[in-house]
Amino acid sequence: MNTKETPHIKPNGVEIAETVLLPGDPLRAKFIAETFLENAQCFNEVRGMLGYTGTYKGKKISVMGTGMGAPSMGIYSWELINVFGVKNLIRIGTCGAMQENIDLYDVIFGMGTATDSNFGQQFNLPGQFPLTASFELLEKAKKVADEKGQKVHIGNILSSDVFYSADPTAIKKWQDMGILSVEMESVSLYWNAIQARVNALCILTVSDHLITGQQTTPEERQTAFTKMMEIALELA
């Protein structure tokens, strides 16, 4: 029985698996548990950040919301890694496309993340550090996508602290550097995973397009992004 708890995660005896899927929206975690997992049990309800553990094709797996932004992801991922022993953390989130060859609902694997966040300053490194995904998870995810015939984009993404930017030129500068998309959580996930020597990967579905202005609805963001969910579940 799991007797550990933190101020933000109280499993009440429910085990947290070594592989955890991390959507930002806790309702997306609930949807995944109810749709894909067998014998799912809720392990967290603190602050409404729902978490569940169940099985997928006989393998134990957990799913939990992380909220919005690097600080929230930073708290939950640190506790999952350092208190509950999670070894594989897979963010399944939404993003805004930043290149013309990417469409709504396309799937992106964040091979590396650029950032405007100060999250990494706490490590006091004497220089810049490359924030990259686990090659083990990235390689497996690409193999799963290929087996499913699912086209994916693989490359660098931007993890930004700013949702509504006051600088209209900022996006263009990142686009010119080949950044595929922008989201808000991968920076703290990758930092925490790298520091603890565990695996992390950011799998994203395009929910809106920064060039064309296209966007999906909140309801679609909760339930329609099943391609990335199925890829992530196979990594268990």
Domain map of the chain by residue range? 19-234
Residue ranges at the known binding site for phosphate: 24, 28, 47, 91-94
Domain 19-234, what architecture?
3-Layer(aba) Sandwich (3.40)
Please report, in tens digits, the pLDDT of each residue of the chain (236 residues total): 567 999 999 998 999 999 999 999 999 999 999 999 999 999 999 999 999 999 999 999 999 999 999 999 999 999 999 999 999 999 999 999 999 999 999 999 999 999 999 999 999 999 999 999 999 999 999 999 999 999 999 999 999 999 998 898 999 999 999 999 999 999 999 999 999 999 999 999 999 998 899 998 877 776 668 999 999 999 98
Residue ranges at the known binding site for a purine D-ribonucleoside: 8, 183-185, 207-208
pTM, entire model: 0.95
Find out whether 74 and 119 touch, Cβ atoms under 8 Å.
Answer: yes
Residue ranges at the known binding site: 8, 24, 28, 47, 91-94, 183-185, 207-208
If DSSP codes are grouped into helix, strand and coil, which group holds residue 111? strand
* Catalytic annotation, residues: 208
Q: What are phi and psi of 111, to 5 degrees?
A: -65, -40
Which amino acid, 70?
A
